[in-house]
Chains A and B, each alone.
Chain A
């Protein structure tokens, strides 16, 4: 377990999110992905009510760098790591064999596989397979390493996203909720289900994701 003074987490204020997806575009651009089906960050939109009494809930996230990552559990090739210094979960594309178990296991659909239009098929000296390796949000470890914020945090037009250690977030946003504390964020997947909606056996990923929900 990476302790709260080190584990980096995201804070998302749903009351300030208008679903512009500047973060989605900034993320994809920063990671040098081409347009295509693989998306490192995704927006989920939920509407309630009937015109004109409508409520709309925007929820956007990439990888939640979970305390207990389902992807690491699932990967047969031990290609995914949780960094001890900051809890960021990263993929080693050299070890990745494009198996896809991670994508099935993750409730948040964080692992992505680019298609041929997004990148050239990846070859590696250490693996015999061709094809595309997993890519996902890595909390912009290159930017974080030089004291910058992840691209999504730095991009958000309404400053609805923040990031920092768990300690920093819990101090700055004392009312912030988490899934672990039974917080409810409309549009955010259940912690125990994988992306196909199958319940695993009481597995808790415990995402490093804090939020302020819009009231229903």
Chain B
């Protein structure tokens, strides 16, 4: 028996036991398959699967030598995988995996009444349902829902609708996404971009004095590869001081960077990684802060503003002299300033005769016979209607300063464009009907005013403004400003601010979304296969049967009537903002289903005559839509048939999960489901799959071939299939073949390949396609099958530091004004001249198209119950025709600070939050803020144990820090497992259970007032429902704000008994934040409002209800 040694200090002399029998290093004997397995993450990082005995044993990542800024060698990074992809072993081998096709034989949502069927039975069932829906409702009832879980590889989703024979343009389609709906609408109207403005290249950061990261949690959302290492390098170079040599030398030769600021409501990991300064406006109040900055600049910092314009703007000699003079009260100075700003931002100040109206003067637009003179008059910014007038409220300071002609015409209150009718017969109007909130049109928006709202000290607001005036700033912006009911305003106001501050167009001066140019430098990849299914084959019969259809000029079947009142548009048909007249916002798909429950109503609309002198009153028969969206109301049919491949939108990733579940379960008087069909392809029994009528098991990482590219680095991956999907699951390419067979569309599906019985001849078709694909690309990529398997990637040795710095809007800075030329960059990295795509040829702080696009979509924008102030008027064609130009609007031509419906202000006494729903009085005293965790990609990886056990502070019902426990509630427990996989490898990775809770972050002060301690099981409750979670106390969140991550799977339990023995009705123990968030779309874009707006109650789960 060995002697027990005591721990005493001793000089370490010989090194313990150096017996030569010490264990040898194990041999790495797996076969390596390199590739990538992205999901909705913006990535495409290197993963290498180490495979033995048909099982993936472990993973590695990119190990090719890299060049870095910090080493001074260049910019060629390894594409390292984040913790999600590193956890894939517990994602792939998971007892939640779907093994065989199933049909729901009982009630929707009941896990116990799914029955196993053959592939043929499942496909035939889908056809039966599709045929019935087509016969009754036509193609408009079909919806190819947003689904982003598969990051590469073929998805049969859109082809299925072609097989069904639904003409693509005659289905109910959507025009935006869940990521950037506000940006996509706002900048299409008031800017050149189609989403966030374009930023200079990443490397240009080194030319700036300061990097500001605003509403962008890059560390955790990881919107593209290596953003963390990019940021970490920027920080390290900045830490070394100015003058550090930058390799490559084309973007920058030495670094100017001295500071990084992070602006976010929560102290995110991005702030941890890089913030020298942290600015924390309450979620939804950024616009107030922006107004405060502008007020400060125009009051106290005009001299600096003048100098900045003198240094960067295009000016005449007289203008430059005046602006450099610093005589801030002189007419010369202020005229020069107004003209100079007016070149870049239309409507920042009231129009005068020297600053022409500009609308209709961008020559790149054809006016379709409309009078150009009318436009010039129409788009004039009337006295007191400019954005700066709004900022100054009833104060006449800017009038005295020769900058504006009148004080603000904007009212203090604004209403909501919501339904006045009940959905059910005898039901109630929208709770916001007849209510108003503040828009502060007459309030002077000083930094001190802003402080009381946003919680950022006035001194810090001023200092931020000073930074932009005196330094070169590179400002990154992503999605954070958006995700609430007034996100449109924040995106708009921010873009105006950035352009007003000339934060663009030169090295080191940039605002917007920084993306790489990787895609531009990769040879285009040829697919070895495409399908050729004619979706117009039944077009004549359909048009004969459904009078809402017609043919367009290309012969395609489309809706006869626009989704919207296009007659209200006076702007050219090819104007960038007019894109949305035949599609709805994706966020409203559930409403487009729900309209099938409630039937129609007659509504009056007012249409101007062609010359605008008068109007007609017309009646529309429209659906009763919960959110009163004009486009949803005008749909020709409700959505009846949804198919989703690799998406969790049907239940999980939309809002108000309880409402979604109700809609899916709703039946009509005959006992048929209101929404006839939901079909899902997935790899897990997600919450959406649970509500499906048909569930088809697909493939996951390395179980299929897939290919794609990346945003940042120039690279193309081709993942070689390493293992088979388990059980009876098929790869998606083969699922498509099964469906094609049921619909008799095999010829078009296989399109030149041999038609096969893929169920009995697995992987043969897939292999043929990929062999052909590799062959087709061999010449351009120089890689054969062995090369692709070994490397996984085509990654040319392109040192990004040697690239010319792309400067966004450089031409716009040099040649501003109407219809001017800006350079874009095409795939070959060549400059392409296009006009700045607004009618004024510049950024629009006053944007008539914003109002008209809104009018077109919603049908009406006039709020007759509110008057503009001081006899002010705002033109749109219909407002003039109806002589209502002096009335208030729901969407104004300028951005405004409008408090969120379920928001909060910092100082509830001095700046009380309007609270139109009366939530404070009902005890909803906290606000919910969610963020994108690094441990899921939205709801993907929720079932992956490795990342769940590292997600901070997750606890089980006993309060123990946790890993996942085995589920016994899943219908698939004990399902057949592919017998090439050993038991040790498939040891249950467990599905989410009611034993483990999502982490809910609270400030210790908030927790203390509610008697909540670290690790307590708590309930978070909103108007929509309740979730259970585990409390974590942290000073990283603001007092009063409750914060959690998004993407957990909805798992409601009726009459749930908490670990403390208290019973609650209906608690989502999966902890999905979307159970709490509402579906009310944002004001202007009608898009996604999830993440930063929700009033909640929080209490320990021992409080009796």
Contact = CB atoms under 8 A, between A and B. Distances in A.
A196 interface: no
Interface string A129-171: 0000000000001111110110100111111100000000000
A78 B19 CA distance: 10
Interface in A30-61: 30-32, 34-37, 43, 45, 47, 49-54, 56, 58
A82 B18 contact: yes
Nearest to A91: B23
Contact of B7 (A83, A84, A200): A200
A155 B68 CA distance: 16
Nearest to B27: A142
Interface residues of B, number: 77
B836 interface: no
B2 A78 contact: yes
A20 B950 CA distance: 9
A76 B267 CA distance: 47
A146 B28 contact: yes
B763 interface: no
A22 interface: yes
Interface in A79-120: 80-84, 87, 89-93, 101, 105, 117, 119-120
Contacts of A200: 7
Contacts of B81: 22, 155
B261 to A, nearest CB: 12
A51 B19 contact: no
Contacts of B949: 35-36
Contact of A26 (B86, B984, B989): B86
A142 B25 CA distance: 5
A160 B269 CA distance: 15
Interface in A16-34: 16, 18-22, 24-26, 28-32, 34
B427 interface: no
Interface string B1-28: 1111101110011011111011101111
A20 B28 contact: no
Given A29-B58, A148-B63, A16 B28 contact: no
Contact of B25 (A30, A144, A160): A144
Nearest to A42: B950
B219 interface: yes
Contacts of B219: 18, 20
Interface stretch (B409-417, B770-778, B826-834, B1033-1041): B1033-1041
B404 interface: no
B733 interface: no
Nearest to A48: B1035
B984 A120 contact: yes
Interface string B35-71: 0000000000000000000000111110100001010
Contacts of B26: 141-142
Given A51-B1039, A54-B1036, A82-B15, A204 B9 contact: yes
Contacts of B882: none
A157 B229 contact: yes
A15 interface: yes
Contacts of A142: 25-28
B267 A51 contact: yes
A9 interface: no
Contacts of A186: none
Given A18-B228, A25-B86, A141-B25, A35 B8 contact: no
B228 A20 contact: yes
B704 interface: no
Nearest to A21: B950
Interface stretch (B154-162, B232-240, B480-488, B638-646): B232-240
A214 B105 CA distance: 59
Interface of B: 1-5, 7-9, 12-13, 15-19, 21-23, 25-28, 57-61, 63, 68, 70, 80-83, 86-87, 89-90, 219-220, 226, 228-229, 231-232, 235-236, 239, 267, 269-270, 272-273, 278, 280, 934, 945-950, 952, 963-964, 984, 987-990, 1003, 1034-1039
Task: In the A-B complex, list the 5 residue pairs whose CB atoms are closest, starting with the nearest.
Answer: A35-B945, A158-B232, A72-B16, A81-B22, A141-B25
Given A73-B7, A76-B1, 11 more contacts: A2-B15, A22-B82, A25-B83, A29-B946, A36-B949, A47-B1034, A54-B267, A54-B1035, A56-B267, A101-B4, A203-B9
